[in-house]
Amino acid sequence: MELIFMDRTPSLFPPTLGGPPGLRYEPDFVSPAEEQELIGQVQRLPLQPFQFGAFEGKRYVASFGWRYDYTKHRLEAAAPLPLWLLPLIARIEAFTRSAPIRQVLCTEYDQGAGIGWHRDKPHFDEVFGLSLASQCRLRFRRQNGSQWQRFTLEALPRSLYMMSGAARQIWEHSISPVAARRVSITLRTMRQSEA
């Protein structure tokens, strides 16, 4: 089945989250039918356990465009972007007015899986996350003197979040262990030096 996304007038996300500058959130970015089709496409991928150096994460991934090799500590070419992702990519680029998306990571989380505190690798610029199947708690923190400033975004199924500016470059983020199986599609633009 070909994915056909409803045409929306391109606009920026509402800026009133109250979280880190550069964090934007759009609920119901895809319809329930689109969500089911995307979940099916991700489940048909040859997902592999996430490798973090010598460690194996409790989530399963497939990278397209580019991937970061944690053993070699470098960016490497990955499989080309699949055709079924191209309408979603075009829609996100139009909606957010972003630079071209060049990297996609499809992830399936088992119940109880999460991601620890981190910033995305510096090779990437803007980061978009499409949350599918179940909600997640996307946590943000940054050091403020001797204290931590914190913010939590409840990312609902079918929603899209965007991290740019301070939310992407200064704040760290993590995902709390999920209460139910979750699928996500993370999309990234490249820094000018990497493009």
d(CA 176, CA 157): 15
Pick from 115, 102, 104: which is nearest to 45 by CA?
Answer: 104
| Residue 10 confidence (pLDDT) | 39
| Residue 12 confidence (pLDDT) | 45
| Residue 1 confidence (pLDDT) | 40
Residue with tokens 């139910």: 180
| Residue 69 confidence (pLDDT) | 80
Domains of the chain: 23-190 (2.60.120.590)
| Residue 2 confidence (pLDDT) | 43
| Residue 144 confidence (pLDDT) | 87
Q: Going from the first residue of the chain to its last (195 residues), give the mean pLDDT of each consecutive group of 10, the final group possibly shorter.
A: 40 59 95 98 95 75 90 88 97 94 97 93 94 97 92 96 95 96 97 67
d(CA 97, CA 110): 33
Could you give the percent of the chain with pLDDT greater than 90?
75
Global confidence as pTM: 0.88
| Residue 191 confidence (pLDDT) | 87
| Residue 194 confidence (pLDDT) | 57
pLDDT digits 0-9 by tens, 96-140: 998 999 999 999 999 999 999 999 998 999 999 999 999 999 999
Half-sphere exposure in the Cβ direction for 170 (13 Å, CA):
14
Q: 115: alpha, beta or left, given left = phi > 0 and alpha = psi -120 to 50?
A: beta
Asked if 38 and 85 touch (Cβ cutoff 8 Å), the reply is no
